[in-house]
Amino acid sequence: MKVIARGIIVLLALSLTAACDNNDDDGRPSTPTTSWRLPPPSSPTPAERATYQVPDADCPTNFHHGLLIATETPAELQYVDKIVACTTDQGTETYLRNESDAVWTLHNTLDANYFTWSDSARIKSFRSIFESDQVLLTPKGVITATVPPSALTWSIDLLHSLDWEAHELFADKLVEYGELALVRQAGRVHPAGKALVQCTLAIHAYGKTLDALAEEDLTDVVSTGLATGVAGSKCRQEGANLRLSSDPNRSIVLTEDLDHLKSQTKFLETFETHWGRATQGSRVVKFFGLLLRHT
């Protein structure tokens, strides 16, 4: 897959300001949602052009030092402040919170442990579908790493950003069908959970075949992905088991509903907006690099 993107590097420096007493009191929970380890890849060489200071007040109690982010060009700053990056007093661990519409892949230059915190039901569902050797920072997701900021980089993962928007779209459909509570409880066991998994995988499989994903229209990709291939057939099979339960006057199954997705402009508007921001970011941002300077 080719992603239209221009490589950039970002530096992070520890803020010289002391931690404020009125910082957000939302420190990390007593136990993480998920943890894993990855071997270290190589790190790009940093460069500095324009800066953005993460406010200490945006950081949680245990990571209350906001980092100074520097980009290669000022144009990239509009994406920099979408990742809240913080560190501890000792500067030995890193906190990242994703406030963007894209999914980011984390990379480390030292052997690292990663932990996710307070994942929502949707984030947990998404992670269960795309468990791999990658560390994915989803929209509204929080990850901490047991390495200093200088050991981390992250990049927009456009294929998984597509997967996320598809997963969100199908999850919203299940809300409409009154099935999301069952998905939370039964996951892949319940028909609703199976449909969510298979339909998301159908879009992933089709997305992998596209050479210029950033140039694609989200609605076209979703509609085509659901209509083609083995994964699309599995989605349709599972979707045929779900009927709209919120309206007793309608007898329509999820599969039939998805067939008319293109005409549901109001329903698709939010997802297309998010996808547009993710693809625009992928054209500008390739890598963020992190560097902690002790004073």
More confident residue, 81 or 280: 280
Contacts 24+ apart (CB under 8 A), 127-134: 127/34, 128/187, 128/188, 128/197, 129/163, 129/167, 129/197, 129/200, 129/201, 130/160, 130/163, 130/204, 133/38, 134/105, 134/160
| pLDDT interval class at 161 (50, 70, 90) | very high
Least confident of 31-35, 201-205, 230-234: 31-35
pTM of the predicted model as reported, rounded to 2 decimal places: 0.79
**Rounded CA gap, 177 and 106, in Å?**
35
Residue 4 forms part of a structural domain: no
Let me know if residue 6 belongs to a domain.
no
What pLDDT, on the 0 to 100 scale, is given for residue 54? 92
Residue 60 lies in a domain: yes
Claim to verify: residue 146 and residue 167 sit in the same structural domain: no
Quote the percentage of the chain above a pLDDT of 70: 72
Extended strands (E) in 131-267? 135-137, 142-145, 152-156
- Report the percent of the chain where pLDDT is more than 90: 36
- Domain for residue 237, yes or no? yes
| Shared domain check, 262 and 191 | yes
Residue 282 has pLDDT above 80, yes or no: yes
Q: Are residues 144 and 172 in the same domain?
A: no
Please tell me whether residue 51 adopts helix, strand or coil conformation. strand
Same domain, 66 and 197: no
Same domain, 150 and 187: no
As a whole number, the mean pLDDT across the chain is 77
40 against 84, higher pLDDT:
84
Answer whether residue 294 is part of any domain: no
55, pLDDT greater than 70: yes
Of 77 and 44, the one with more pLDDT: 77
The answer to whether 247 touches 117, Cβ cutoff 8 Å, is no
Assess whether 16 and 147 both reside in one domain.
Answer: yes
Query: Residue 254's closest CA among 207, 192, 168?
Result: 192
* Mean pLDDT, range 266-284, rounded to an integer: 90
**What is the predicted pLDDT for the residue at 179?**
61
Distance, in Å, from the CA atom of 174 to the CA atom of 187, rounded to the nearest integer, reads 13
Q: What is the mean pLDDT of residues 5-26?
A: 37
Instruction: Name the helix (H) or strand (E) containing 98.
Output: strand 94-98
Predicted confidence (pLDDT) per residue in 230-268, tens digit: 988 998 888 887 776 655 555 567 888 888 888 888 889
Task: Report pLDDT digits (tens) over 75-132.
Answer: 777 777 888 999 999 999 999 999 999 999 998 878 889 999 988 888 988 998 997 7
Check: CB of residue 289 under 8 Å from CB of residue 48: no
Which of 38-52, 123-137, 163-177, 211-225 shows the lowest per-residue confidence on average (mean pLDDT)? 38-52
For 45, the domain range is 11-157+283-289
Tell whether 53 and 124 lie within a shared domain: yes
The reply to whether 127 and 223 lie within a common domain is: no
CA angle 207, 78, 103 (to 5 degrees): 30
41 and 149, same structural domain?
yes
**Count of domains for the chain:** 2
The answer to whether the beta carbons of residues 245 and 180 sit under 8 Å apart is no
Residue 185 lies in a domain: yes
Please check whether residues 130 and 260 belong to one and the same domain: no
